[in-house]
Chains A and B, each alone.
Chain A
Amino acid sequence: MSAPGPVDVGLQIERTTLSWRRTGLAVAIGSLVAMRLLPELLGGLAWAIPGGVGVLASLWMWWMSRRRHRAFVERAAASGTPRIGGAAPLFAIAVGTTLIGLFGLGLTTLVR
C-alpha cells in the first residue's frame, strides 16, 4: 500500500490546531489565575465558578481542535478536496471571550 500524497502543503491544519491550543491554554491560565485572585474579591464559593467554567472551556477547545483536525484530514484524504468545518465554534469563542470581558468589567467596577 502506498503512502498518501501530501494533502496539507505547509502543514496548515497543524498550525491551525496549535493556534487553537494556544488559545485554549491562554483561557486555562487566565482561569487558574482568576481562581487564585477571586477568593479575596468574591465571597462564598462564587469565586470558583468563573475559573471552573474557564477551565472547562479550555478543555472544550482542546477537544474541538482535535475534532476539527481529524475531520479536515479525513476529508482531505478521502476526497482530495479539503475544506474547513463550520464556524459555530469560532462564534462560541467570540461570545465567550466577550462574556469574559464583561465579567472583568463588572469585577473592576463593582467589586472594589
Chain B
Amino acid sequence: MRGRVALHPIETGHHNHSHPYYDVMVPPENAPDRRFPQAVFARGTEPDARFSLANERTFLAWTRTSLALIAGGVALEALGLDLQPQLRLAASLVLIVVGALLPVAAWVAWAHTERALREGRHLPHPPVGAVLAITLTVAGVLVLLAVLLR
C-alpha cells in the first residue's frame, strides 16, 4: 500500500484506477471526520484546502516568531552583555514570557480561523499582532534605556 491515508476496503472506500495513485483507498465522502480537534473539524463543511493550508502556515509563522522571541530573551541574559542589569533582565523577561504565551494564542487563532473557514463566516482578526507590536516596543525601549544607563 502506498498511502497512509488509506482505509480498509471494508470501510466502503473505492479504488481510483484512473490514476497512478490508484492503490490509495479514499474514504467515502460521508465517512465520519475524526480529525483532531473535533471542536473544529466536527463543524461546517470542508473548505478549499488551500485556505486551510494558508491557515496552517500562519500558525507555523507565529511559532517561529515565538521561538525568535524566546531565543532573543535568553540570549540577552546568557551572553552577559554590558547593559544596565535590571533593565536587561526586564527586557529579557518580557520577550520570554510573551514568547511562551504566543504559541497558545497562535493555536487559538488557528482554531478560530479554521472554524470560520468551515462555517463560511468572516475570518476573525486575532489581537496577537498588536500584542507582538507592544511587546517589541516595550523590549526595545528597555534595551535602549539599559544601553543609556549602563
Question: Is A86 an interface residue when CB atoms closer than 8 A count as contact?
Answer: yes
Question: Is B3 an interface residue when CB atoms closer than 8 A count as contact?
Answer: yes
Q: Evaluate contact between B56 and A16: CB separation under 8 angstroms.
A: yes
Q: What residues of A have a CB within 8 angstroms of the CB of B22 in the complex?
A: 78
Taking the nearest CB of chain B, how far is it from the CB of A70, in angstroms?
A: 7
Q: Within the assembled complex, what's the spacing in Å between the Cα atoms of A98 and B34?
A: 26
Interface size on A, residues (CB 8 A): 53
Identify whether the interface residues of A are mostly helix, strand, loop, or mixed: helix
Identify whether the interface residues of B are mostly helix, strand, loop, or mixed: helix
In the complex, chain A residues 71-112 whose Cβ is within 8 Å of any chain B Cβ:
71-72, 74-79, 81-88, 90-91, 93-95, 97-98, 100-102, 104-105, 107-109, 112
Q: Which residues of B contact A (CB under 8 A)?
A: 2-5, 16, 19-22, 24-26, 29, 34-37, 40-41, 46, 49-50, 52-54, 56-57, 59-61, 63-64, 66-68, 70-71, 73-74, 77-78, 89, 92-93, 96-97, 99-104, 106-107, 110-111, 114
Q: Which residues of A contact B (CB under 8 A)?
A: 1, 4, 8-10, 12-13, 15-16, 19-20, 22-23, 26-27, 30, 33, 37, 41, 67, 70-72, 74-79, 81-88, 90-91, 93-95, 97-98, 100-102, 104-105, 107-109, 112
